[in-house]
Structure 1
Amino acid sequence: MARSITIGNSTITDSTDAYVIAEIGHNHGGDLGLAEELVRMAAKSGAHAAKLQKRNNKALFTKAMYNSPYTGRNSYGATYGEHREAVEFGEKEYRHLAGVASETGIAFFSTAFDFESVDFLAELGMPAIKMASGDLTNTPLLAYAAKTGIPLVISTGGAAMEDVRRAVDTVLPLNSQLAVLQCTAAYPATPDVLNLSVISTFREEFPDVVVGLSGHDVETESSVIAYALGARVVEKHVTLDRTMPGSDHHFSLEADHLRVLVDGLERTRRSLGDPVKQVLPVEQPALHKMAKKLVAARDLRAGETLTTDSIAIKSPGDGLRPYLLGELVGRTLLEPLAADDSIQLSNLG
C-alpha cells in the first residue's frame, strides 16, 4: 500500500508537494482578531493548513501545576492555569476561524492534548487532529483519537525509536490515516539537533505511513532538506511579529519567511523530478554541441576495411556514438567517405 493521508481536500503522497501546516498555537494570545489575521497570513503565504492547540486545562493539569505562580513577559495570568485559560479558545472562536480558513482556501485543525479536546475537535468536524510530542507515549489518548477515524498527525520530539514504534503500532490498527513527523523538542532547535536523517529511518521503518517534519528551527533550509529526504508534511510555527510577548514567537516564521518556505519546498519537488535517468529534450542542444560521433579520419574509398586509424571521434554529436567504435572496426565501406563525414551503419557491409 502506497503511503497516503488525506486532510480536507488534500491527499499527500510521495509524489506531491509538501503539505505545509502553519502552527499558530497560542501565538494569538487569546485575541480572536489576531488569530484570524494569522489564519489569513498563513493562507496568503501559501500554507495548506492553519492549526491551533486545544486543551481542557483543568482536566489536563494537576491542581498544583494549574495554581502555580506564572509571571513574566510571556504570562497572561498570575497563575499557570489563568495563563492557559486566557489563551484558550472555545467553540465560538473555533467555528469562526474554521470559516475564515474555508473562505481563504486552507484547512483548519488543532492539536488535542486530552480526551475532552479530542471530542471537541471531532464534534466540530476537524479534517485532522494533531498529537503533540508530549503525548507520543500516551497510548490511551492516541488510541482514543485514532478511533474517531479522523486523520492523525503525530510529532515525535523527545522520543526514542521504540516510543515511535509503539505509537504507530497503537494507531495503525485503528486508523490508517497517519503522518509521523520527525521533531526535536527544543525551542528553538539548532541545526545540530534536528537529526533530519531520522526521516529516512521513519520511511524505511513505516513504509505505509506519510513522514514529515515538525521544525522548531528559525530558518527554512532544514525543511527543504527534509523534503529531499522524503518528508511530505512540514509543520512550522508562525507569527506576525517575532518580538511579540509569548513563548513561541521568537522561533516562529513571519509572513515573508513562510512564503520563502512554501516556495522553496515547491522548487525542491520540481528539482527532484523523475527518478528515472533519461535524456531530456532540454538537453538536446548541449548534447549536439558537446557530444561526439564517429567520422572518417581521412578520405576513405569504397571497399576499404575500417581500422581504428581510419575512424575519428569528433563533435557535433549527431551521429554514431563512440561506444560503437569496436563494432565498426573490420567492417567494409560500401561507398567512399570524405574526411569528417559521419559514418553510418548503412555505409557498411
Structure 2
Amino acid sequence: MKLKSLQSVFVIAEIGQNHQGNIEVAKDMILEASRAGVDCVKFQKSCLEEKFTKKALARAYNSPNSFGSTYGEHKRFLEFSIEQLKELKDYAESCGLIFSSSAMDKVSFDELKQLDLQFIKIGSGDTNNIPFMRYIAQQNVPLIVSTGMQNESTVRKVVKIFEDANTDIALLHCVSSYPTQVEDTQLSHISRYRKLFSNIPIGYSGHEIGWECSCLAVLMGAKVLERHFTLDKNQKGSDHIVSLDPRDIASLVEKVRLIEKNVQLPVMPDDLLDVVTKLNLFENPQGFIGRACGPVGRKSIFPCELMCKHKLGKSLVYSRDLRKGQRLEELDLSVKVSEPNGIPAELFDDAVGKEVKRDVCYDDPVMESDIGQFETTHGDL
C-alpha cells in the first residue's frame, strides 16, 4: 500500500496486547474486528532486552493489571513470537484484513520486515529513538509514526529523516495518556500537522473513552484512524479501559463512512458544529467540540503524558563499559527504557562527543551528571 495515496480513511483496530497472551483470543479479536468493518488489525512486537535495560525489566510491577511480579515477567507473558504473529497475519488476511504490528526496537523491526507487512507502525515511545529512526528510514518499508510524548522539534527532526530518505510515512497526532481527557486530546494539532507537513498524510491515534473525538479527527482531515480494540473493557490490562469494543468500533466505522460520503473534507473549525449536528454524529456537540478542538501552539509534551513518559519513555544508555575521560561515540550509546530515566533519547546527537566524567557501565542510563549540561543542536526548526 502507498500511504501517501490513501483515498478513504484507513481504520486500524489496535489489538496490541489486549489478547491477554492467548493466540486464540487474538484470533477471536481479529474476527470481530473484521465483522466491524475496519481495514486493519495491529499488534505489537518487542525484543525485551533491546527495548529495556535489565533494571527496568526487574522493576517490581505491583498492579491489578500485572501478569507478573516484575515488569519483565509481565511483558514476557503478553509477548507473541514472530511465528505466532505470522499465524495471526495469515488468519487476518483470510478475514479480509490488513495485518500489521508496531516494532519497538531494531530486532523486532527486522523480524517484522520478514513478514512482508504492508506497513510497520512506530509507537509514540520510539519516535525519539533517533538512531532507530535513521535505520528504519533506509529499509524501504512504509511507516505509520505516532507522536505522543514528543515535542515539535523532535517531530520535525524525525520527519526530516524520513523525507530525506524518501520514506513513505503517515504521521499520527497522539496523546499518551490512558485515558486521555477530552480537553487533553488537542485535536487542532491535526490541522497544524497538515499545514507543517503538507506532503504527508496525517492521522490520529486516540486513547480517550468513546469515539466522538475520532469522528472530529476525521472531520479535521485525519486520513488514518487508530483505536485500541477489546472484546471486554473490564478485562485485566491497562489498555482495555481506553479501547473500543466490537459494537463501539462498528459504530465508529459506520460514522466515518457516513462522513466520507456526505462531507467535503477537511471541515473548517467554524463549521464543525454544523456538520456534527447535521449528520447527528453524537449528542451535545457544542461544548464537546470546544473542549476537544481548542486553539493550539507548538507541539509539546503535555502534562497528562508525564506519567507514561516516566514509565515507558526512552533514554540514552551506555552500550559498553567506559572509563572516565573517554569521549562518547555513536557506538557507545543505545536507546532503551531505563530505570531510572536518563537523558532523553532525542538528545542522542548532542551527547556524541561529550566526555564521560566517571567510569560507567554497560546498560546504565546516561545521566546529566555523567557528561554535564549542554545546549541542544536541533532546537526549534
- Assess same fold via TM > 0.5: yes
Q: What is the one-letter code of the residue matched to 1:103?
A: S
Output the aligned Cα RMSD. 1.5
> Any unmatched runs of 5+ in structure 2?
267-381
Does structure 1 residue 228 correspond to structure 2 residue 224?
A: no
Which one has more relative contact order, counting CA pairs under 8 Å at least 6 apart? 2
Q: Which moved more, 1:72-81 or 1:113-122?
A: 72-81
Q: 1:85-126: CA deviations, max 9, x gaps?
A: 111111221111001111011111111111101101001111
Does structure 1 residue 165 correspond to structure 2 residue 161?
A: no
Residue number in structure 1 paired with 2:99: 108
Residue number in structure 2 paired with 1:346: none
- Counterpart pick for 1:192 among 172, 179, 183: 183
Q: Which has the larger radius of gyration?
A: 1
How far apart are 1:12 and its partner, in Å? 4.6
Q: Aligned partners of 1:246, 1:179: CA distance in 2, in Å?
A: 28
Q: 1:134-155: CA deviations, max 9, x gaps?
A: 1221121112222221110010
Q: Secondary structure at the match of 1:172?
A: helix
Does structure 1 residue 54 correspond to structure 2 residue 36?
A: no
Q: Within 5 A, what are the aligned runs for 1:277-296? A: none
Residue number in structure 2 paired with 1:6: 2
Residue number in structure 2 paired with 1:130: 121
Does structure 1 residue 253 correspond to structure 2 residue 244?
A: yes
Contact kept? 2:220, 2:265, Cα under 8 Å:
no
How far apart are 1:167 and its partner, in Å? 1.0
How far apart are 1:59 and its partner, in Å? 2.1
How far apart are 1:27 and its partner, in Å? 0.4
Q: What is the one-letter code of the residue matched to 1:231?
A: A
Does structure 1 residue 96 correspond to structure 2 residue 87?
A: yes
Residue number in structure 1 paired with 2:331: none
Q: Measured at CA, do residues 117 and 274 of structure 1 come closer, stay the same or move farther in structure 2, by a change above 3 Å?
A: closer
Q: Aligned partners of 2:126, 2:163: CA distance in 1, in Å?
A: 16
Q: TM-score by structure 1 length?
A: 0.74
Q: Secondary structure at the match of 2:2?
A: strand
Q: 1:185-236: CA deviations, max 9, x gaps?
A: 1111111011111111111111110000000111111111111111000000
Q: Which moved more, 1:157-166 or 1:80-89?
A: 157-166
Q: Within 5 A, what are the aligned runs for 1:1-349? A: 6=2, 12-13=5-6, 16-273=7-264
Q: What is the one-letter code of the residue matched to 1:6?
A: K
Identity of aligned residues (%): 35
Q: What is the one-letter code of the residue matched to 2:239?
A: D
Q: TM-score by structure 2 length?
A: 0.68
Contact kept? 2:82, 2:112, Cα under 8 Å:
no
Deviating beyond 3 angstroms after TM superposition, the runs of 4 or more aligned structure 1 residues are none
Contact kept? 1:12, 1:19, Cα under 8 Å:
no
Q: Secondary structure at the match of 2:202?
A: strand
Contact kept? 1:131, 1:153, Cα under 8 Å:
yes
How far apart are 1:17 and its partner, in Å? 2.2
Q: Measured at CA, do residues 23 and 12 of structure 1 come closer, stay the same or move farther in structure 2, by a change above 3 Å?
A: farther
Q: Aligned partners of 2:38, 2:70: CA distance in 1, in Å?
A: 34
Q: 1:28-69: CA deviations, max 9, x gaps?
A: 111000111111111111111100111000221111111122
Q: What is the one-letter code of the residue matched to 1:183?
A: C
